[in-house]
Structure 1
Amino acid sequence: MTITEFLLFILTAALAGMFLCGANDLATIFVALECLSLCSYLLSGYTKRDVRSNEATMKYLLMGGASSSILVYGLSWLYGLSGGEIELQEIVNGLINTQMYNSPGIWIAVISITVGIGFKLSLVPFHQWTPDVYEGSPTPVVAFLSVTSKVAVSALATRLFDIIFYFSSNEWHLLLEILAILSMISGNFIAFTQTSMKRMLAYSSIGQIGYILIGIINGNSNNGYASMITYMLFYIFMNLGTFACIVLFSLRTGTDNIRDYTGLYTKDPFLALSLASCLLSLGGIPPLAGFFGKLYLFWCGWQAGSYLLVSTGLFMSVISIYYYLKIIKLLITERNREITPHVQNYRLSSSISKNFIELSMIVCLVASVTLGIVMSPIIAIAQETFLF
């Protein structure tokens, strides 16, 4: 595969995500979102000779285009109801001046924008594209998209809902609470049945975004946004560390099937330990970073009165530990008769690309294990810097 175009798409998508995190007018939001989306479609189908990659990019393109259309339809209602304003704060002022902040058009805008953002964040029931895209896309692309899209669209969601729709906060809170509960329950339960590591992580990420929504819903009360940013930071390292391990294993064996990891500890103890640590951190096992991130996120949600959301999140976090431990059990199997042919023929190879992947894995491993220890300054920075 050609590398130049690949790097160009990656850098363009990253730049679009940065613009999306700071966009304050509808035109910039749309251009940045579409730039991120188009690069994501191209990246997911980059291995064009792979049938699964072609299927993934086709589903991603069709569903992503539909979600963008619905999102822009909602934004167009805001533009019209506010009297032709495109800046977010001016839209609020325009809605007040035109007395349209309680009109039926606002509910259409809320629902359309929620549906559009739900597709981008892989919220249930708008998640149908996610497992196929995760399985068919190149693994480095999946690792990039799994964190970039969530961070950028979460920042967009906080800006749209908190600035524009503060008139109807109870309504969009209810919508997001329903989507968060559905995502946490469906994502974690369906992850039980998966045989592919990437599909399992796809459904795991659906459950994870359900946890992150707790911070968005309680953003203005009891440090909700700070808890969201803190957990998002931890999630980036946990997820990228897991994908780095999967990339290394797939490069050396050519498979990403969960059962093919059986006995990996006997051949590559460090890779097995790194994968186990990142998975346990995703599950929220103390004293890893994921535990402290979830604890702070759930505590802020509980103080804000989201008892049902937090209770569901706690229960599903315990459930999620089961399928993470199932993988770890396979990793540490030492009986030779249970080791798969892929692990029996496993060879440690050294190359520049693999060395960089190993370095990334080590950085993410250290962060996933130790970031919880320095959580107080991270929370302080998040509280000070999250300003609209």
Structure 2
Amino acid sequence: MAVTEFLLFILTATLGGMFLCGANDLTTIFVSLECLSLCSYLLSGYTKRDVRSNEAIMKYLLMGGTSSSILAYGLSWLYGLSGGEIELQEIANGLINTQMYNSPGIWIALLSITVGIAFKLSLVPFHQWTPDVYEGSPTPVVAFISVISKVAASALATRIFDIIFYFSLNEWHLLLEILAILSMILGNLIAITQTSIKRMLAYSSIGQIGYILIGIIDRDSNNGYASMITYMLLYIFMNLGTFACIVLFSLRTGTDNIRDYAGLYMKDPFSALSLSLCLLSLGGIPPLAGFFGKLYLFWCGWQAGSYLLVSIGLFMSVISIYYYLKIIKLLMTERNKEITPYVQNYRLSSSISKNSIEFSMIVCVMASTLLGIVMNPIVAIAQDTLF
């Protein structure tokens, strides 16, 4: 594959995500979102000779274009109802001045914007693109999309809902609560049945964003957004570390089937241990960083009164440990009859590209394991940034 264009798309998508995190008017929001989305579509279909990659880009493009049009429709309602304002705070003031903050049009805008953001966050029932794109796209692209889309869309959601729809607090809280509950339940339950590790991580990410929504919903709590930012930071390292291990394995074997990982510890104990630590951290096993991130997130949600959300989140976190441990059990098997030919023919490589991936994997594994020890400084930085 051509590396130059690949890096160009990656950097452009990153730039779009960065602008989206700081965008404060409708024009910048939509242009930044499309900059991120269009590059993500191109990256997902970058291996154009692969049929699965072609399928991924078509589904991603069609559903992404539909969601962007719905989002633009909602933003246009805000523009009209506010009297022609595009800056977020001015829109909120304009809605008050025009007495349109409680009109039927504002509910249309709320629903349209929620649908558009829910697609970017892979929330149920707007998640249909996620497993197919995860399975068909090149694995490094999946790792990139899995974190940047969630970070950027979460930043956008907090800004729009907090600034513009603050007078519709109960309504958008109810919408996001329903989406969070559906995502946590469906994502974790379907992940149990998957045979491809990339599809399993797709449904796992749907469940994870359900947990993250608890922090967005609990904006009345002083720590709500801080807990979301803290867990998002830890999730980035946990997810990228997991995908780094998958990239190494797929480069050396050419498969992403979960059963083909059986016995990897016998041939490559370093990769097997790294993957195990990242998966355990995603599951929230103490004393890894994922445990402290979930603990702080759920504690803030409980303090804010979201008892149902936190209870479902705790229960589904326990369920998620099952399918993570299932993979770890396969990795650590020592029975020769269960070891697949892929692992039996597994060969370690010392090429520069693989060494770079291993270095990234080490950094992410260390962060996923040790960042929980320094949770207080991380939380303090997140709170200072917000308040």
Letter of the structure 1 residue corresponding to residue 305 of structure 2? G
- Alpha-carbon distance in structure 2 between the residues aligned to 1:41 and 1:26: 22
1:37: which partner in 2?
37
Q: Deviations over 1:121-141 (max 9, x none)?
A: 000000000000000000000
Shift of 1:351: 0.6
2:333: which partner in 1?
333
Q: Deviations over 1:131-170 (max 9, x none)?
A: 0000000000000000000000000000000000001010
Q: For structure 1, which runs of at least 5 residues remain unmatched after alignment?
A: none
1:304: which partner in 2?
304
Matched residue of 1:300: which SS?
helix
Matched residue of 2:126: which SS?
coil
Shift of 1:222: 3.4
1:377: which partner in 2?
377
The residue correspondences of 1:249-268 to structure 2 (distance < 5 A) are: 249-268=249-268
Letter of the structure 2 residue corresponding to residue 357 of structure 1? I
- Alpha-carbon distance in structure 1 between the residues aligned to 2:220 and 2:88: 18
The residue correspondences of 1:7-22 to structure 2 (distance < 5 A) are: 7-22=7-22
- Alpha-carbon distance in structure 2 between the residues aligned to 1:105 and 1:303: 34
- Is residue 363 of structure 2 the alignment partner of residue 363 of structure 1? yes
2:133: which partner in 1?
133
- Is residue 345 of structure 2 the alignment partner of residue 348 of structure 1? no
1:235: which partner in 2?
235
Letter of the structure 2 residue corresponding to residue 148 of structure 1? I
- Alpha-carbon distance in structure 2 between the residues aligned to 1:66 and 1:270: 43
Matched residue of 1:53: which SS?
helix
- Alpha-carbon distance in structure 1 between the residues aligned to 2:318 and 2:337: 31
1:320: which partner in 2?
320
2:106: which partner in 1?
106
- Size of the aligned set, in residue pairs, is 387
- Alpha-carbon distance in structure 2 between the residues aligned to 1:237 and 1:370: 11
- Alpha-carbon distance in structure 2 between the residues aligned to 1:220 and 1:268: 48
Q: Deviations over 1:281-326 (max 9, x none)?
A: 0000000000000000000000000000000000000000000000
Q: Deviations over 1:333-379 (max 9, x none)?
A: 00111100000000001111000000000000000000000000000
Query: Is the CA contact (8 Å cut-off) linking 2:220 and 2:304 kept in structure 1?
Result: no
Matched residue of 1:219: which SS?
coil
Shift of 1:220: 3.4
2:275: which partner in 1?
275
Query: Is the CA contact (8 Å cut-off) linking 1:60 and 1:129 kept in structure 2?
Result: yes
Shift of 1:386: 2.2
Matched residue of 2:165: which SS?
helix
The residue correspondences of 1:58-77 to structure 2 (distance < 5 A) are: 58-77=58-77
Q: For structure 2, which runs of at least 5 residues remain unmatched after alignment?
A: none
Matched residue of 1:190: which SS?
helix
Matched residue of 2:256: which SS?
coil
- Alpha-carbon distance in structure 2 between the residues aligned to 1:120 and 1:380: 28
Query: Is the CA contact (8 Å cut-off) linking 1:222 and 1:303 kept in structure 2?
Result: no
Between the aligned residues of both structures, percent identity stands at: 88
- Alpha-carbon distance in structure 2 between the residues aligned to 1:222 and 1:314: 21
- Alpha-carbon distance in structure 2 between the residues aligned to 1:194 and 1:264: 19
2:246: which partner in 1?
246
- Alpha-carbon distance in structure 2 between the residues aligned to 1:317 and 1:214: 14
- Alpha-carbon distance in structure 1 between the residues aligned to 2:378 and 2:306: 24
Shift of 1:219: 2.2
- Alpha-carbon distance in structure 1 between the residues aligned to 2:24 and 2:331: 47
- Is residue 53 of structure 2 the alignment partner of residue 50 of structure 1? no
- Alpha-carbon distance in structure 2 between the residues aligned to 1:300 and 1:238: 21
- Alpha-carbon distance in structure 1 between the residues aligned to 2:204 and 2:76: 34
Query: Is the CA contact (8 Å cut-off) linking 1:222 and 1:304 kept in structure 2?
Result: no
Query: Is the CA contact (8 Å cut-off) linking 1:46 and 1:53 kept in structure 2?
Result: yes
- Alpha-carbon distance in structure 2 between the residues aligned to 1:238 and 1:182: 23
- Alpha-carbon distance in structure 1 between the residues aligned to 2:380 and 2:58: 43
Matched residue of 2:86: which SS?
coil
Q: Which 4+ runs in 1 deviate beyond 6 A?
A: none
1:175: which partner in 2?
175
Matched residue of 1:248: which SS?
helix
Query: Is the CA contact (8 Å cut-off) linking 1:44 and 1:53 kept in structure 2?
Result: yes
Matched residue of 1:265: which SS?
helix
TM value normalised by structure 1: 0.99
TM value normalised by structure 2: 1.00
RMSD: 0.5
- Alpha-carbon distance in structure 1 between the residues aligned to 2:53 and 2:300: 40
Query: Is the CA contact (8 Å cut-off) linking 2:244 and 2:358 kept in structure 1?
Result: yes
Shift of 1:221: 1.3
The residue correspondences of 1:80-99 to structure 2 (distance < 5 A) are: 80-99=80-99
- Alpha-carbon distance in structure 1 between the residues aligned to 2:269 and 2:192: 25
Shift of 1:256: 0.5
Query: Is the CA contact (8 Å cut-off) linking 1:14 and 1:36 kept in structure 2?
Result: yes
